[in-house]
Structures are given as structure tokens and as C-alpha cells.
Chain A
Amino acid sequence: MGKQYGFYADTSRCIKCWACEVACKQWNGIKAGTIARRKVHEIDSGKFPTPTRTFISMSCMHCAEPACEKVCPAGAISKREEDGIVVVDKNKCIGCHYCFFACPFGVPEYTDAGMDKCDACLGNGVKIDEGEMPHCVATCPTKALHFGPMDELREMQSQKTAKKVVSDSTRPSFLAS
């Protein structure tokens, strides 16, 4: 197996501008008011007088052991050998929704065409093997969102205070700090 690519979200830099969400929808031709492959979440913690708000941009985590791939009856979900990106063949997908019940992050969403989720912009022509960035990462104004081989992302994360992402069973290719 080749490299495992993934995303790294640096919450200390995210300002919740939603540019990543918008870029994702634009470049992947997703209609407004329908689904969202990438979402910026807000986490509130602490109490008055020291409340904190943390923002984090998340999408499919391209898990090392994708639970969605295992349960798909039609074999429509596969993990690419060369970069570890988890992709959906919408022609094979029958829309049974079973992958939603398997994914620990509730990522799969559905349109008439079938299951829809992040493919690291492979579907709209981004060449990640040539170092091109998915559009969410390319558009992030504060450089809070990163994409690349996991070892490089881990190196970046080690400069900051790492945060743990829930779910150990599928080993998500996603880092946060």
C-alpha cells in the first residue's frame, strides 16, 4: 500500500469563516440547501467567566480501516491503493444507507445519485499525487486546514497541542490540534 493521505485541522487558526465549506460545494457542484461534504463545527466549553469556542472543519476522515467499506453490500465503496482516499462508485451504490449506520462520524449523506462524501477533490480533477491541494485546503485563508501524507501532517501537528479524535476502531486519517 502506498501513502495514506489525510486532513489536519488546526483549531488555533480556524476563524469559522466557512470558506472551506463554500469552496467544497462550489467545486463539487453541490446544490445549495442540500448536503455538505465538509462542515465547520463549533464546540463550546468552559463556563462564565471563561467560556471558550473552538472551531473545527471536518469531512470524511478516509479511515485506515473504513467501516463504510466493510458494510456496503454493493461493493460501491473502496479505498484507493495509491493514496488511501476512500471513494464511492455512485453507479454501484443502491442507496441503502447502511454505511451511515457504520461510519462512527455519520459522514455518508445521500442524493438521488447515491452516497455522497468527500473524495479529496479527486472527482473534480485535483491531482493530489502532483502535490495539488483539495479546494477546501487551497482556499483556507488562515491556513488552519491542511492535506497531505499522514507522516507530514503528524510532523505539523507535533508543533501544537494535539487533540484526540474519537473512534479508534476505524483509525481515521484526520488530525486535530
Chain B
Amino acid sequence: MPELQDTWSWLPAIYLFLGGLSGGAFLTVALIKLFKPGKFKTTVMGGMWIAVAALAVGLFCLIAEVEKPFQAIVMFQSFVNFGSWMTIGAWILFAAFIVFLLSALLATDKVTDWLAKSWKKLPEIQGTLGKVLAIIGAVLAVCVAVYTGILLGAAPAIPLWNTWLLPALFTVSAFDTGLAAVLILAAFVERDGAFAPIRDLLEKVVMGLVVLEAIVLAAFVATMQGGGTNEAVSVGILTSGQLSGQFWGLVVVVGLALPLAAALAQVLLSRKREDKQVAVALPVAGGACALVGGFTLRFVVLAAGIHAALVSPAVLQAVEGISIFL
């Protein structure tokens, strides 16, 4: 039985999850802000703060994983090789955090009221500034989401990670979990009918994302099973090995099937009711399941990423005449 990858522990898994959630949440509320200007302010503000908090905690986990965290945070010294995806990603994350934070501050009335006292022009330009930040932030949010997958995908010695399907999978999951977080928030703060059409649309988007994620996940598993021995051994850990319980139970059933059922139920139930309202429990339960599934996906993919030199030395040895026993 192959041993699980432990060079990177569970801290990067938390980052991969929270980074994706942050990008997905910001993208969702930025689109609401741009297409429904001035509406659902509480959700937009809350979603932005979720994005800021998730990214802050995620970055903290990432920094805590390295051997010299205090040296790593001196970014202009430690992230200088732009041929490395980690360098590009680090600066993207840095930029995204600043834009997310500024957007969140600008969307918070208490902050803008206080600022307007000394910065008289603020109320005039606040709308435009918010829009510009939302657009830049939305682009960075997509980059943050994609980068969670690229970080692993750009590691050539890990057969399970070294495919473009991994960034695709993590990106879809990022949008899915970010949207779930915003929908949970909206279930509590948007209790009037005005949000109902938006909710209906977003639940349909959830369904689309779940189906898309299932397709990408299936393609990922099938590609690995059909790849070399290393790939098959690694993906076997997920489908039938040590992590198969987490994979089938938490990623597939809890993370995909249940959110799909919850979204479907909401769309169908809201049609039957005059006020288009649904119980709080349904979006909250569906969203929570999506979050559990999203986190477990990052955790199992990270843990099953065994180094090529460690996967199947016996097989390599037979093929190449020589191999490495570490």
C-alpha cells in the first residue's frame, strides 16, 4: 500500500480550499454588484468580507507551512524567480488581497461615512471606484481560483497533479464553494422577495457548476486510470485505496450529489410558492455540503499526490533496467 504524500501537510489543503472559496465568493458578489448596482448591499459587502477573511486565513496557512515563514513574508526578496509559478501566484495573491480588502472597505457604509468626513470627494467617486475595484477584483478572483490548481499542476514529479485537468477541477470547485458561501450568507440576510430571482438564477448556476465539476472530476479520474502506472497507483488511493471513503462519501456524495439535490429542490419549491421564498435550511444545508466536499477534494488530492520516484519502483525498474529506492 503506497504511503500518502506528507511533504506538504494539511495546511496547504486549507489554503487550496480557502483560496478557491475566496476567489469564487468575490467573483459572485462582484457580478451581483456590477449587474445589479446598488442592490443587495448587505450580501455584496458580506461576500467581500468573506473573500478577504478566507484569503487571509488561507495565506496564513500557506506561510505557516514553509520552514522560514518570517523570511518568506519579505516578498520582494523571497519571490523573485518569475520562471516559477509559485512566484507568479504569490504576487497574484498579494494583489488580490489588497483589491479584495479595498473593495470590502468601500462597500462598508461605516467606513465610507467615516472616510467622507475628511475626504469630501469620496461620495462623488465612490460608485465608479467601487465598480473599477469590482472589475479588477473579479479578474484577480479568477486568477486566484485558477492558481490553486496551477500550484499543484506545475509540479512535474507528481503524476497525479501534473495535468491541466487539475487547475480546471479546482477552478470549478472554487466557483462552486465561493457561490455556496455567498448563498448561505444571502439565506440569512436577504429575506425579502427582491432577491428571489437572483437566488433562483444562482441555484441554477450551482446545478450547472456541480454537473461541470462532476464531468471534470470523472475526466480527471479516467485520465489518471488510463495514464501510466504511477498515475493509476495515485488515483487508486482515491477510488479504492486509503482515501476512498473520503473520496466517494465526502467529495462525490456530500460535495456533489447533495448540493445538486438541494439546488434542484429550491428551484422546484420556489416555483410552487407565490412569494418565491424557501426555507433557510435548504440553501444553508446545500451550501454547507458543497463546502465540506470542496475542502475534502483539496485534502485527498494533496494527500494522494505521491512522488513519481516513490510510487512504483519495482515497475520502473523492470522497464528501465534501473530505478530508485528511496
Contacts and interface: CB of A to CB of B under 8 A. Distances in A.
Given A71-B86, A97-B7, A98-B155, A106 B68 contact: no
Interface stretch (A21-29, A80-88, A164-172): A164-172
Contacts of A176: 322
A162 to B, nearest CB: 9
A71 B68 contact: no
Contact of A106 (B83, B157, B321): B157
Classify chain A: how many residues form its interface, as a range: 35 or more
A96 B72 contact: yes
Classify chain B: how many residues form its interface, as a range: 35 or more
Interface in A134-177: 163-166, 169, 176
A95 B71 CA distance: 10
B80 interface: yes
A73 interface: yes
A103 B326 CA distance: 13
A39 B322 contact: no
Interface stretch (B26-34, B47-55, B266-274, B306-314): B306-314
Interface of A: 11, 39, 41-43, 45, 54, 56, 58, 67, 70-75, 92-98, 100-106, 110, 112, 114, 163-166, 169, 176
16 contacts: A41-B325, A71-B86, A71-B155, A74-B79, A94-B67, A96-B66, A98-B86, A100-B7, A101-B161, A102-B155, A102-B157, A104-B308, A106-B308, A163-B321, A166-B322, A166-B324
Given A98-B84, A166-B320, 6 more contacts: A70-B83, A92-B78, A96-B65, A96-B86, A101-B7, A166-B323
